[in-house]
């Protein structure tokens, strides 16, 4: 993995050899003290609260009342029977899968188009990447305006004589989730592009040329020469997009707050709503645990894929 996406920052790998020699001059045992300043906030902010959260999911605590009791798996049973929660789980997965596919296809196509001799490639790289640095809140408000029924998108469609395609993009329960996916795809395709561009720099030009001399068309060349070499970049990108999709909150909270008719409710918005609007801390924690399981399973899959792609290359 480390060797495939080349960056200017990485010193030659040869340098790694001497570092196995040990510093013998001073006792090293107390070096573990160096870990403390990082370990304390990490434990306080990440590990302990996560463990507490998992514990809360087995209680009926509302966040304020000192009287609470263990309820076993009640919160999880309720989750399975709660249409809103089931809807949120399927929305979360749908959203994550759709943004992952589109961000990666678009990001890869952009990277392939810019990994050529076109003169404007540096400017275009900045253009496509720019939305990544803009606040999600700003992006979401901007698109909320673009999507209003009398807004720019519908106006363009009507102007092109495609008035039938005009929609209430964020107000129609059938479409709202896809509109939010479109916002995220616009925002993050440039991120995928940058990682693919870095990956493409590791593809030797000679291999591409040899393939084109063999008479391989652009598609074959991509599939048999570029794709295997890009495998690590693909793995990383897919995982980043999936995790971002699974945890998406900003774009949804700003544009629809989970509506209309809960058609854009995801696990993230439901966790927030239950904890801070309904005062259902125990139930909210159970939802967060489900989200954590999704992310952890994906991370483990990624880890395995990474190891496999490392063996192949």
Chain residues 35-94 in contact with another protein, contact rule CB under 8 A: 35, 37-39, 41-50, 52-54, 56, 63
Q: Which of 105, 113, 165, 307 binds another protein (CB under 8 A)?
A: 113
Shortest approach of another protein to residue 63 CB, angstroms?
6
Measured between alpha carbons, how far is 45 from 53 in angstroms, rounded to an integer? 12
Nearer to another protein, 169 or 253 (CB): 253
Whats the size of the chain, residue-wise?
313
Nearer to another protein, 177 or 194 (CB): 194
Q: Which residues pair with 59 in a beta bridge?
A: 70
Nearer to another protein, 44 or 70 (CB): 44
Shortest approach of another protein to residue 187 CB, angstroms?
10
What number of helices (H) and strands (E) belong to the chain?
14, 0
Name every residue whose Cβ is closer than 8 Å to that of residue 53 and which is 6 or more positions away in sequence.
285, 288, 289
Nearer to another protein, 152 or 228 (CB): 152
Structure tokens at 115: 């990994």
Nearer to another protein, 105 or 113 (CB): 113
User: Among the candidate windows 80-88, 92-100, 125-133, 165-173, which touches another protein by CB under 8 A?
Assistant: 125-133
Q: Does residue 192 sit in helix, strand or coil?
A: helix
**For the chain, what is the radius of gyration of the CA atoms?**
24
Shortest approach of another protein to residue 43 CB, angstroms?
8
Name which of residues 171 to 230 contact another protein (CB under 8 A).
186, 191, 194-195, 197-198, 205, 208-209, 212
Q: Which of 80, 126, 162, 261 binds another protein (CB under 8 A)?
A: 126
Q: Which residues pair with 70 in a beta bridge?
A: 59
Shortest approach of another protein to residue 3 CB, angstroms?
9
Nearer to another protein, 174 or 276 (CB): 276
Shortest approach of another protein to residue 221 CB, angstroms?
12
Residue closest to 153 by CA, chosen among 139, 137, 169: 169
Name every residue whose Cβ is closer than 8 Å to that of residue 115 and which is 6 or more positions away in sequence.
121, 197, 200, 201
Shortest approach of another protein to residue 258 CB, angstroms?
14
Measured between alpha carbons, how far is 272 from 284 in angstroms, rounded to an integer? 7
Q: Does residue 59 sit in helix, strand or coil?
A: strand
Name which of residues 233 to 262 contact another protein (CB under 8 A).
236-237, 240, 246-247, 249-250, 253-254
Name which of residues 269 to 288 contact another protein (CB under 8 A).
271-272, 275-276, 281, 284-285, 288
Q: Which of 77, 86, 261, 296 binds another protein (CB under 8 A)?
A: 296
Name every residue whose Cβ is closer than 8 Å to that of residue 188 and which is 6 or more positions away in sequence.
99, 103, 131, 132, 241, 244
Shortest approach of another protein to residue 105 CB, angstroms?
14
Shortest approach of another protein to residue 60 CB, angstroms?
14
Decide if 114 contacts 127 (C-beta within 8 A).
no
Q: Which of 69, 116, 277, 312 binds another protein (CB under 8 A)?
A: 116
- Site track for another protein across 146-175, x = CB under 8 A: x----xx--xx--x----------------
Residue whose entry in the numeric block shows the structure tokens 């263990």: 70
DSSP 222-275: IIIIIHHHHHHHHHHHHHHHHHHHHH--HHHHHHTTT-STTTT--HHHHHHHHH
């Amino acid at each position: 993995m480390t060797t495939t996406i080349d960056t200017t920052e990485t010193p030659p790998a040869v340098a790694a050899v001497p570092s196995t020699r040990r510093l013998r001059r001073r006792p090293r045992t107390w070096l573990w003290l160096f870990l403390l300043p990082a370990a304390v906030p990490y434990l306080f902010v990440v590990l302990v609260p996560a463990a507490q959260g998992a514990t809360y999911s087995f209680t009926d605590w509302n966040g304020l009342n000192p009287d609470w009791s263990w309820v076993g798996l009640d919160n999880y049973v309720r989750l399975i029977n709660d249409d809103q929660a089931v809807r949120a789980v399927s929305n979360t997965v749908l959203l994550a899968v759709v943004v992952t596919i589109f961000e990666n296809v678009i990001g890869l196509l952009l990277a392939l188009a810019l990994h050529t001799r076109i003169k404007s490639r540096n400017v275009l790289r900045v253009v496509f990447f720019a939305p990544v640095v803009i606040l999600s809140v700003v992006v979401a408000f901007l698109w909320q305006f673009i999507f209003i029924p009398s807004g720019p998108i519908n106006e363009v469609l009507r102007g092109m004589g495609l008035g039938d395609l005009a929609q209430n993009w964020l107000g129609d329960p059938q479409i709202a989730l896809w509109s939010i996916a479109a916002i995220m795809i616009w925002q993050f395709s440039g991120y995928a592009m940058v990682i693919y561009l870095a990956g493409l720099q590791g593809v030797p030009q000679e291999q591409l040329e040899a393939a084109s001399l063999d008479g391989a068309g652009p598609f074959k060349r991509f599939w048999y020469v570029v794709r295997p070499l890009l495998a690590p970049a693909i793995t990383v990108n897919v995982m980043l997009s999936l995790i971002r999709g699974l945890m998406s909150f900003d774009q949804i909270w700003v544009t629809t707050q989970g509506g209309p008719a809960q058609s854009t409710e995801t696990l993230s918005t439901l966790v927030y709503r239950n904890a801070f609007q309904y005062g259902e801390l125990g139930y909210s924690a159970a939802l967060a645990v489900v989200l954590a399981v999704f992310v952890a399973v994906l991370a483990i899959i990624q880890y395995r894929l990474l190891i496999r792609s490392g063996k192949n290359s």
